[in-house]
Structure 1
Amino acid sequence: MMHKLNWKQCRAYVGAAALALGTTLSLMPAAPVMAQVRSLPDFTDLVETVGPSVVNIRTVEKVKPGAAGNADEQMLEFFRRFGIPVPPNMPRAPRPDRSQPDEDQPRGVGSGFILTSDGLVMTNAHVVEGADEVLVTLTDKREFKARIIGSDKRTDVAVVKIEATGLPAVKIGDISRLKVGEWVMAIGSPFGLENTVTAGIVSAKQRDTGDYLPFIQTDVAINPGNSGGPLINMRGEVVGINSQIYSRSGGFQGISFAIPIDEATRVADQLRSTGRVTRGKIGVQIDQVSKDVAESIGLGKPQGALVRGVEAGSPAEKGGVEAGDIITKFEGKTIDKAMDLPRMVGNVKPGTKATVTVFRRGSTRDLSVVIGEVEAEKPVRRSQAPEAKPPMAGPAQAMGLMVSELPDALKKELKLKGGVKVDASEGAAARAGLREGDVILAIANTEISNVKDFETALAKNEKGKAINVLFRRSEWTQYALIRPTR
């Protein structure tokens, strides 16, 4: 049954509802019509502050008349730096005329920034490499001949000195505070256009490009001539040295790389004190640890550096590091990926005693090594395996393997305590990468001394289950995961 209301009752209900609604609205915060828009950064103050600390660097090379041709030097620097083949229509250098005196020929252009008020300038090593003369031009148009204090190709860092005082030095930033996504700015001389300012954001940190250092990746426009210039944060601090770009077309494609300033400063300090850079080494050949290998040996997640080989007489060998070890920590610092190890070791002064943590056959142990010094690589002597003995029969055949005893002479040559030699590999073993001549050292984290040990370890493996195998091939040791066909 519907209840009827008279006019007074209706007015009372509406008034009460309005009062209630008004009270509710008064207690609720007003919702914004649209999200607050953050304004884009203004770089003008940064340019005025840091700009005077950025320099243009030109290099001169003494050549015979006509030897350099009339090619555009900026383009040649571009081709040299980024590995692009020189176009066939560019003039080639004729045979030098030794009867005429050498001429000063412009060689390249780059950038740099003032480290100290008394004239120390940092740039890229490739900017000054091979130069007979280095000319540094300040923003006030003063030009100085610079002396190369030192350069390091491995990190692409160089320090030069000009005779001047009262110069505006840059502020060095803290890399640990740098965040992906924050705005950064570059100042340099792309294609010789001095004091060019470009800006963007940090795209990634610790970008591993296969070089010695992890780079800062940005989308700041970098071109030939920007090399050696500073990457600057919004606090006006230098956080990197612009060094490389990624390009398929030869032009800028939104990916550029800068050397982290903390690494560059560490190198520069050594160049200033001794003129060269010394790096530590322990003498191991390493590889990444795959997910399959990590799970099969009980390591858990794929991290650390897999030791594939140990140099004879090296600090690693003297400290007890063995091929097949997984180096998980260096001086207590976790090694996430293999390339972390040479960077950590390289930063340690040779002669220093350090602790290396290794994972070996299911357990972790700490080893003490005395850091050596990086030297020129020596050619590797490859061992020759003796003639194979008749293949064996037994459980190994189920994995596609035929093995035999390891001769004492080969044990001595390879400096092995034991193992078995692979005489044939097919099926699952071949798919896992094993081949004739390999020496199997361990199965399922169990060391193998002879064929009997091999068969025993293999027999314990659950039928059809994948099994990890540590094997030696020539000088290098690695893991394989054999997955038998079910």
Structure 2
Amino acid sequence: MKRTAQLFIVALFAGAFTLGAYKLFLEKKSNKIVLEAQDTPFVATSIGTSAKGAGINEVDFTLAAEKTVNAVVHVKNMTLGKSAPNSLFDLFSYGSEGSQRPQVGTGSGVIISPDGYIVTNNHVIARSSELEVTLNNNRSYEAKVVGADEASDIALLKIEAEDDLPFLAFGDSDNAKIGEWVLAVGNPFNLTSTVTAGIVSAKARSLGRNQSFIQTDAAVNPGNSGGALVNTNGDLIGINTAITSRTGSYVGYSFAVPSNIAKKVVDDLLEFGNVQKGILGVGTVLRESRQALELGIDEIEGVYVSRVEEDSGAEKAGIQEGDIIKKVDNVKIRKFSELTGYLSAKRPKDKVDVTVDRNGKLVTLPVTLMKNQTIQVPVMGFVVKNLSKQDKKQFKLDEGVKITAVPEGYSSYNLEGKVIVKLDDQDISDIEDAKKAFSNVSRYGRTSITLIDENGERERLIFQ
């Protein structure tokens, strides 16, 4: 035992001597000296840190998660779909289309009031025959649809709970910054609420539907649709809606309807039963189009006005074809999706200040937004508008819709400028009538359209 202790002490001293000799004689110095007379190749920099800290390890997500998870719910959509006949009995009983079979779809939703109003996506509840909402505490309730808007993909549900529910209030999505940390909270597989983190990757992102989305890299999967996008303060700044993926699963990008748009849709559904859209009344040219290249506007910053709608707020305010919209109120406009995104939170009769570049000079014009007077009808794709006072006088009509544009396939029929007064046996008085009537047109059936031309002559065309 004594000999062992002596050997240990000798080994300890030998190791210390060896380390000291290495440090003194063999280790290379890593110091670098830059003389004052030398052209210094280095630039002194200071890296600013956010109030939350220098990086992800210093950002606290727990507060936002605690405020959010109990306000996010699981939405189950039961629909009846037709399946192909599996036997001769099914064929004789139900025909070639088969029998109706229950189908289940799922998504998420966000409670926005203590009395049980829930916002989700329209596609989550579409064609539902029955809706069930499950809270984060696993209690389930039957839900009813208060209203829905297909254009914004927002729907409003209502459940009747015994007690006040935890809820999230809408934040201001206009204040969201690119690079800001966000959480995506959903209930995708009825596993109770799930939280993922990312940053705001872009704002006013368009997916080809004239919409304006917040883009984030927080992981979002199909069942997250209708869930909450919140900042690190727990403010609701978006409703998660879509992903871009070839596989159908998350691959890096997801999109949310900004809270300012979702709130406006919800308020409209509660107050009016439908969405009130304030329309500026201008048309534009896509930057990537051949027309944009020909006009030399493919690289402009702003929205080029290619058309001003008749009797619109833009026309009355003096906006002209060829103007470039640079700003609305105090919001800078760089592309069309930013314009539509800002106006989506407005109603008819709201007033906005539109700043345009007119031949190199900035002009600010006050515009009163108006109710939409123009739509593109389903199936056939005609662009039609309500009759103006001038139209009614010219055509000697009180009701009908005027065709302002047609798809290429109908260009040979000379339809532009004529008024549709009847589709099959249904009278058409305005664009709402036209939208409903054309939505029932079959692509494979026979359709009759009754028109009045500018000379007051009536004609009837049959398409099949």
Q: 2:172 aligned with 1:148, yes or no? A: no
Q: Is 2:186–2:193's contact at 8 Å kept on the other side of the alignment?
A: yes
Q: 2:133 aligned with 1:109, yes or no? A: no
Q: 2:280 aligned with 1:256, yes or no? A: no
Q: How far 1:96 sits from its partner (Å)?
A: 8.1
Residue 124 of structure 1 is matched in structure 2 by 121
Q: Determine the C-alpha separation between the residues in 2 that align with 1:162 and 1:42.
A: 33
Distance 1:288 1:168, change over 3 A: same
Distance 1:230 1:344, change over 3 A: closer
Which of 71, 79, 98 aligns to 1:53? It is: 71
Q: Determine the C-alpha separation between the residues in 1 that align with 2:246 and 2:96.
A: 43
Q: Determine the C-alpha separation between the residues in 2 that align with 1:36 and 1:306.
A: 41
Q: 2:160 aligned with 1:163, yes or no? A: yes
Distance 1:228 1:282, change over 3 A: same
Distance 1:237 1:102, change over 3 A: farther
Provide TM-score, normalisation by structure 2.
0.59
Which of 271, 274, 279 aligns to 1:273? It is: 271
Q: Determine the C-alpha separation between the residues in 2 that align with 1:246 and 1:366.
A: 38
Deviations 1:287-333 (A, max 9, x none): 3679xx99x9999x933321112334434334433322223343465
User: Bigger CA drift: 167-176 or 42-51?
Assistant: 42-51
Tell me, what secondary structure is at the counterpart of 1:340?
A: helix
Residue 201 of structure 1 is matched in structure 2 by 199
| Counterpart residue identity of residue 55, structure 1 | V
After superposition, residues 213-228 of structure 1 pair within 5 angstroms as 213-228=211-226
Residue 380 of structure 1 is matched in structure 2 by 404
Count the aligned residue pairs: 322
Q: Determine the C-alpha separation between the residues in 1 that align with 2:181 and 2:311.
A: 49
RMSD: 4.0
Distance 1:373 1:47, change over 3 A: same
Distance 1:309 1:49, change over 3 A: closer
Q: How far 1:163 sits from its partner (Å)?
A: 0.8
Q: 2:136 aligned with 1:133, yes or no? A: no
Tell me, what secondary structure is at the counterpart of 2:251?
A: coil
Distance 1:195 1:319, change over 3 A: closer
Q: Determine the C-alpha separation between the residues in 2 that align with 1:128 and 1:280.
A: 26
| Counterpart residue identity of residue 268, structure 1 | V
Residue 310 of structure 1 is matched in structure 2 by 308
Deviations 1:434-475 (A, max 9, x none): xxxxxxxxxxxxxxxxxxxxxxxxxxxxxxxxxxxxxxxxxx
Q: Determine the C-alpha separation between the residues in 2 that align with 1:151 and 1:189.
A: 21
Distance 1:354 1:49, change over 3 A: closer
| Counterpart residue identity of residue 237, structure 2 | V
In structure 1, the gaps of 5 or more residues are 1-34, 70-92, 384-412, 414-486
Q: Determine the C-alpha separation between the residues in 2 that align with 1:248 and 1:308.
A: 35
Tell me, what secondary structure is at the counterpart of 2:222?
A: coil
Q: Determine the C-alpha separation between the residues in 1 that align with 2:59 and 2:93.
A: 53
Distance 1:233 1:366, change over 3 A: closer
| Counterpart residue identity of residue 144, structure 1 | Y
Distance 1:194 1:103, change over 3 A: farther
Q: Determine the C-alpha separation between the residues in 1 that align with 2:367 and 2:197.
A: 45
Q: Is 2:125–2:131's contact at 8 Å kept on the other side of the alignment?
A: yes
Q: How far 1:368 sits from its partner (Å)?
A: 5.0
Deviations 1:161-197 (A, max 9, x none): 0011311112443435544334332232335544333
Q: Determine the C-alpha separation between the residues in 1 that align with 2:191 and 2:361.
A: 59
Distance 1:364 1:274, change over 3 A: same
Q: Is 1:288–1:304's contact at 8 Å kept on the other side of the alignment?
A: no
Distance 1:282 1:265, change over 3 A: closer
Q: Determine the C-alpha separation between the residues in 1 that align with 2:272 and 2:102.
A: 30
Percent same amino acid among aligned pairs? 39
Tell me, what secondary structure is at the counterpart of 1:39?
A: helix
Q: Is 1:62–1:105's contact at 8 Å kept on the other side of the alignment?
A: yes
After superposition, residues 464-483 of structure 1 pair within 5 angstroms as none
After superposition, residues 29-428 of structure 1 pair within 5 angstroms as 39=57, 43=61, 46-63=64-81, 66=83, 97=94, 105-164=102-161, 165-287=163-285, 302-331=300-329, 333-352=331-350, 354-367=352-365, 369-374=367-372, 375-377=374-376, 378=384, 379-381=403-405
Provide TM-score, normalisation by structure 1.
0.57
